[in-house]
Amino acid sequence: MRDRAQLVYDFADGDRTQTDLLGGKGANLAEMTRLGLPVPPGFTITTEACKFYLDRGEEPQSLRVQVTMALRRLEDGLGRRLGDVQDPLLVSVRSGAKVSMPGMMETVLNVGLNDYSVKGLAEAAKDERFAWDSYRRLIQMFGRTVLDIPSERFEDRLDEVKAREGVTTDVELTPVALQGLVEDFKGIVADATGREFPQDPREQLDLAMRAVFDSWNTDRARIYRRRERIPHDLGTAVNICAMVFGNMGEDSGTGVCFTRDPATGKQGVYGDYLVNAQGEDVVAGIRNTLSLEDFARLDPASHSELTRIMRRLETHYRDLCDIEFTVERGKLWMLQTRVGKRTAGAAFRIATHLVDEQVITRDEALTRVTGHQLAQLMFPQFDPDAPRTLLTKAMAASPGAAVGEVVFDSATAVARAAEGRRVLLVRRETNPDDLEGMIHATGVLTSRGGKTSHAAVVARGMGRTCVCGAEEIDVDAENKVLRVNGTTVAEGELLSIDGSTGEVFAGELPVVPSPVVTYLESGLDAALQGVDEEAADLVRSVDRLLRHADRTRRLAVRANADSAEDATRARSLGAQGIGLCRTEHMFLGDRRVLIERLVLADDAASRDAALAELLPLQRADFVELLEAMDGLPTTIRLLDPPLHEFLPDHTELAVKVAVAKATGEGASEEDERLLAAVERLHESNPMLGRRGVRLGLLVPGLYGMQVRAITEAAAERALAGGKPRVEIMVPLVGSVMELHLIRDEIDGIIGEIQEAAGVRLDIPIGTMIELPRAALTAKRIAESAEFFSFGTNDLTQTTWGFSRDDVEAAIFAAYLEKGVFTVSPFESLDRDGVGALIRTAVEKGRETRPGIKLGVCGEHGGDPDSVHFFHYAGVDYVSCSPFRVPVARLEAGRAAL
Ligand code: ADP
Ligand code: MG
Ligand code: MG
């Protein structure tokens, strides 16, 4: 760092654009100062100074000098000196990062008070009670935040004194009692730290500044940043601000207000005010607060000035502002403002209200809402009015409200779900074997693992409600019961879990569907039936913004769907096609035996027989699918996973055969052959083994059968007057040669069927790009591929060399903690690495084939951040799970602005 770098800015010198350097609070204090609003003067220490301190463990040399200069300017401007014995200047030391992290970091008020200046303050204010109250607050806050003394030690003492004095609130304490309390607090400090409470005002200031710097790296701050995907290296600014006092009597007070209701988005100001109080008292809920209407009656002049300022700020920021203010003996002071946080519903409503008030344009309105918020609005919720019994609270891993009978294993989950019952899968932790159970459960509850555990990741991926890491729950799978805080729940009994809050409730809580989902699936009229005005306004807002996104976006949005049912749902949610139909899901259940037969076939005749049985089943699947998607592009992927995934488990089968032999019965010939096949097909790394196009080249007839089924289905639909628009996709291609070879076979079959059926079918053949080699040689691959679809899950696995199922639980928690990445690359696309391969493939593919269609069909297709990347990278469409389609539509619109 250069020695002359400016590390300190007076409020009068900055503005709102400087949030990187001054943090949000500092930049907005500067902005309000620039606007001429009544802000107490002060200065901001930059995030650069903080970063330097966090790197080196000490402040930059020049910081002390610059702080001294700024402090002198402040003192000279006010004509008072920090901590002076007569009429002292006091300051607050306040944290403030670029992105607001509410309640995460520290603030110390009344810095500058000591045994002498407290008397000067009392004299200047002509108020003993106020001065001693301020001093006890300083020691309390300083003790807690700078010296790390547990806050209960102060609070307990305060309670004791109140009890002794026979009063219920702190304002009733006499000056003498407060003075005694100051002595007690100083004793607590000396006792806890072995040092006296620092009397030197500048030392108080320096220590408080450091504490703010240090607060950047507390556990809760790190956890918060991880959850909000805020980088760990931004650092915080520190704001030093001249104190104004809300605790100077009945004509003073402190408050917070909003220019609109941040919970619902309702128009009209909203706020709380507390008489004779300071700082955190309002939010701490110590005493009852007054509404703004009461405030207007109490102090009409301050209230009307506040009202003017609120309007001024909303006009200036053109958005909901939240504001912190203080009144000192009838004079209003502004202590903070920012564009306020809001609930998902409020975001949509406020954005459309501002359009209607002609404060922002429709494009701007679109920037004010996010796909995450839309996703939140889509989850059903527990009826807020229903009575409930909370059993425990753990991590909110995947949102939603789920009720079900408790089951402790995947098989039982599948079996009971098949009987049409709602089940809640409860496991200590889940692993890939639990997948089927998770698919069939309404929700998943685990007692171990965090937000990147298998359960959490998979549940989020499939949109299943999940609460994880509920350590208070003892999961006894063997005896099929769970115990939690004295309650025992046996298999089959009901539990309710809230994946948005992490709460677990006894029994069944009634669930109310989201009107937003009704709107998305069935349209505006259906959604407006019987809802209250607020919900109706919300639904209309979502409708308007989503339609605007649809008009704005360049990216098309398709869905990943494997069945006609999913396809229909996706279509109603606005999908413009299917980007990925995974055919492997069609080989589960009863059809598994047919695959077994195919694998076991030792001559062409038995192989062909097995394929011949599969053909009509596949054809029927595709007919249904193409009917559901009539007129829209439908991309069907040929079989991708290794064949052994369709065979019985090796261990189980080996045991069965061994037992049969040992008992002298002898194993069946079928089982022995099956076992031999399982062993022959065993792979130690199946993800990189005999799968994808390799299957097509190594298992004669398999891809041919699928292509035949697809083409015959398309022909049937065309002859029935439909408009089938099917596209065939070949997975895991690494070399153009693989595609050439497969195309030879495919083109032949399509030609033959067209001829036989007497219809012309236009069936583009394309490939997934999911290996780095495919991306790098995309120029060649495009010679043979009519479209590319980026399989970003596999491309992430193969680019990073991460096996998804293995690393998520084992490595990612540590990597997120250490800051290797701020978000899992499976959740949000890694732009630098995987993204670079995608850009390369886009460019090279178009060189060979300018009109080549480019899509994305990995999970990332529904991730808001990733959608923006795909827009910039120039792909034509994204494809994601059906319930993510509206999210992708909204984000694609936002990306295009
Ligand atoms: P947070 O980031 O948690 O909101 P702040 O730095 O805004 O923390 O401080 C919390 C509260 O302390 C403010 O809302 C305000 O009431 C009070 N406060 C901060 N600075 C001053 C000041 N200079 N004078 C009076 N009160 C202050
Ligand atoms: Mg604040
Ligand atoms: Mg793949």
Tokens 């003073």 sit on residue:
252
Pairing of strands 253-260, 236-242: unpaired
Tokens 């405030």 sit on residue:
295
pLDDT tens sequence across 883-892: 999 999 999 9
Which atom of ligand 1 lies nearest, measured to the CA of 107? 6
Catalytically annotated residue among 857, 868, 871, 880:
857
- Out of 3.50.30.10, 3.40.50.970, 3.40.190.290, 2.40.128.30, the CATH code matching 380-512 is 3.50.30.10
Is the C-alpha dihedral spanning 473, 474, 475, 479 positive or negative?
negative
Any idea which fold 553-642+683-895 has?
TIM Barrel (3.20.20)
When mean pLDDT is compared over 36-40, 277-281, 497-501, the highest value belongs to 36-40
Lowest-confidence segment of 13-22, 279-288, 726-735 by average pLDDT: 279-288
Choosing from 82, 335, 338 the residue with most ligand 1 atoms within 8 A of its CB, the one to mutate for a pocket test is: 335
Number of H helices, E strands in the chain: 37, 31
321 is catalytic: no
User: Is the CB of residue 326 below 6 angstroms from any atom belonging to ligand 1?
Assistant: yes
Q: How far apart are the first and last CA of the chain?
A: 37
Whether 601 contacts 583, CB under 8 Å: no
Choosing from 322, 326, 327, 334 the residue with most ligand 1 atoms within 8 A of its CB, the one to mutate for a pocket test is: 326
Smallest CA-to-CA distance from 34 within 327, 323, 324, 312 is with: 312
Note the Cα 882 to chain centre separation in Å. 19
Lowest-confidence segment of 174-183, 423-432, 826-835 by average pLDDT: 423-432
Choosing from 113, 243, 324, 333 the residue with most ligand 1 atoms within 8 A of its CB, the one to mutate for a pocket test is: 324
Determine the average pLDDT of the residues in 684-703.
93
Ligand 1, atom 19, lies closest to the CA of: 92
pLDDT tens sequence across 741-772: 999 999 999 999 999 999 999 999 999 999 99
Determine the average pLDDT of the residues in 589-603.
85
pLDDT of residue 341: 84
Q: How large is the C-alpha radius of gyration of the chain?
A: 33
| CA 273 to ligand 2 centroid distance, Å | 14
Ligand 1, atom 18, lies closest to the CA of: 279
Whether 713 contacts 763, CB under 8 Å: no
Which atom of ligand 1 lies nearest, measured to the CA of 256? 14
Return phi, psi of residue 749, to 5°.
Answer: -65, -45
Tokens coding 728? 């065939």
pLDDT tens sequence across 21-48: 999 999 999 999 999 999 999 999 999 9
Ligand 1, atom 22, lies closest to the CA of: 243
pLDDT of residue 102: 67
Which atom of ligand 1 lies nearest, measured to the CA of 254? 16
pLDDT of residue 286: 60
3 state DSSP class of 359? coil
Cα–Cα dist 857/839, whole Å: 16
pLDDT tens sequence across 665-677: 777 888 888 888 8
List Cα–Cα distances, 498 to 374, 392, 669, in angstroms.
Answer: 18, 11, 51
pLDDT of residue 670: 83
When mean pLDDT is compared over 166-170, 284-288, 402-406, 514-518, the highest value belongs to 402-406
Tokens 């303050």 sit on residue:
121
Ligand 1, atom 6, lies closest to the CA of: 94
Q: What are the residue boundaries of the structural domains of the chain, listed by start? A: 253-339, 380-512, 553-642+683-895
Query: Which band of pLDDT confidence, cut at 50, 70 and 90, is reported for residue 452?
Result: low
3 state DSSP class of 170? helix
When mean pLDDT is compared over 282-296, 430-444, 841-855, the highest value belongs to 841-855
pLDDT tens sequence across 543-570: 999 999 999 999 999 999 999 999 999 9
Q: How many CA atoms lie within 13 A of 793 on its CB side?
A: 16
For the full predicted model, state whether its pTM sits above 0.95: no
pLDDT of residue 469: 87
Ligand 1, atom 23, lies closest to the CA of: 243
pLDDT tens sequence across 303-350: 999 999 999 999 999 999 999 999 999 999 999 999 988 888 899 999
* pLDDT surpassing 60 at residue 793: yes
| CA 771 to ligand 3 centroid distance, Å | 9
Beta-bridge partner residues of 96: 237
Return phi, psi of residue 504, to 5°.
Answer: -120, 125
Whether 59 contacts 9, CB under 8 Å: no
Lowest-confidence segment of 365-369, 643-647, 775-779, 808-812 by average pLDDT: 808-812
Which atom of ligand 1 lies nearest, measured to the CA of 325? 16
| CA 107 to ligand 1 centroid distance, Å | 7
857 is catalytic: yes
pLDDT of residue 893: 98
Tokens coding 371? 């796909």
* pLDDT surpassing 70 at residue 285: no
| CA 188 to ligand 1 centroid distance, Å | 25
Catalytically annotated residue among 353, 454, 644, 871:
454
| CA 335 to ligand 1 centroid distance, Å | 6
Question: What stretches of 249-343 show up as alpha helix (H) in DSSP?
Answer: 281-284, 292-298, 300-317
Which atom of ligand 1 lies nearest, measured to the CA of 279? 16
Percent above pLDDT 70 for the chain: 97
- Out of 3.40.50.450, 3.30.1360.200, 3.40.50.1220, 3.30.470.20, the CATH code matching 253-339 is 3.30.470.20
Determine the average pLDDT of the residues in 800-827.
84
pLDDT tens sequence across 348-365: 999 999 999 999 999 999
Query: Which band of pLDDT confidence, cut at 50, 70 and 90, is reported for residue 1?
Result: low
pLDDT: is 821 or 82 the higher one?
82
Cα–Cα dist 24/18, whole Å: 8
User: Is the CB of residue 337 below 6 angstroms from any atom belonging to ligand 1?
Assistant: no
User: Is the CB of residue 40 below 6 angstroms from any atom belonging to ligand 1?
Assistant: yes
Pairing of strands 42-45, 481-484: unpaired
* pLDDT surpassing 90 at residue 221: no
Beta-bridge partner residues of 238: 45, 95
Which atom of ligand 1 lies nearest, measured to the CA of 241? 23
pLDDT tens sequence across 117-176: 999 999 999 999 999 999 999 999 999 999 999 989 999 999 999 999 999 888 899 999
What number of other Cβ atoms are within 10 A of residue 612's Cβ?
Answer: 12
3 state DSSP class of 469? coil
Query: Which band of pLDDT confidence, cut at 50, 70 and 90, is reported for residue 4?
Result: confident
pLDDT: is 262 or 475 the higher one?
475
Cα–Cα dist 78/73, whole Å: 9
